[in-house]
Amino acid sequence: MSNKVVHAIYNDDDILLDAVKKTRAAHHHIEEVYTPFPVHGLDKAMGLAPTRLAICAFLYGITGFTIYANLLNYIMIVDWPQDIGGKPSFAFYQNLPAFVPVMFEGTVFFAAHLMVITFFLRSKLWPFKQAENPDVRTTDDHFLMEVGVHGNEEELVSFFKNTGAVEVKVIEK
C-alpha cells in the first residue's frame, strides 16, 4: 500500500473551495486542508460531519448548574444557615433569587472550561506538541489540500493542475 500524498497548493480561497468540490465529485479522498484563515463553507464542501461540541457544552452546563445548586444548598441551608439581611435560611426555594447569579456563573464556568479541555483533547492539541504543518506558506497566504494517492499518480497531478493549483507535489509520507 502506498503512503504517497499529493499536496495541491492554491493561492485563492474561492479556487480552493471549487477544487475541493471537484475533488469530492471525482471521488478522491481528501486527507486534510490547511488554510491560513477559516474558509466559509469548506467543512460542508469537504463533507465533514457537524460538530457535537454544542451537546457537550449543554451537558457541561447542566453539570455545573447541578454542582453549584447542591453546593449552595449544602453551604447556605444545611451546614451553616445564617440570617443575612433578614432573609430566612430554612429552605432552598426561599433563597433562590439570591442563588441565581451564583448558579448562572457556575454553569458558565463549567461549560467554558470543560469545553476548552474537550476541544484540546479532541483536536489532539496538548502542551509541547509539534506542529503538523506540511508547508509554511499555509500560515501566510496559501492553501494546501492533501489527497492520498490511490491509483495513477500522473493522472492525479494533472487533475489538480486543472483545478487551479499553482503547485502540485507528490510527497512520500
Contact 39, 13 (CB under 8 A): yes
Candidate from 25-34, 63-72, 79-88, 108-117 with smallest mean pLDDT: 79-88
Q: Find all residues with CB under 8 Å of 43, minimum gap 6, and list them.
A: none
The reported pLDDT for the residue numbered 172 is: 86
pLDDT mean over 65-81:
91
Joined grid coordinates for residue 35 = 488554510
Confidence of residue 104 (pLDDT cuts 50, 70, 90): very high
Amino acid present at 68: Y
Q: Where are the domains of the chain?
A: 4-50+131-172, 53-122
Q: How many CA atoms lie within 13 A of 11 on its CB side?
A: 3
Strand-by-strand arrangement of the 167-172 sheet: 30-34, 143-148, 4-10, 167-172
The arithmetic mean of pLDDT across residues 118-129, rounded, is 88
Distance CA 155, CA 123 (A): 33
* CA torsion through residues 127, 132, 135, 137, sign: negative
Which of the four pLDDT bands, split at 50, 70 and 90, describes residue 2?
A: low
Residue-wise pLDDT tens digits, 124-135: 888 888 888 888
| Domain 4-50+131-172: top CATH class | alpha beta
pTM for the full model? 0.71
- Per-residue pLDDT reduced to its tens digit, 136-161: 888 899 999 999 988 788 889 999 99
pLDDT exceeds cutoff 60 at 1: no
Q: Give whole-number Cα distances, 6 to 91, 127, 134, 157, in Å.
A: 67, 30, 11, 7
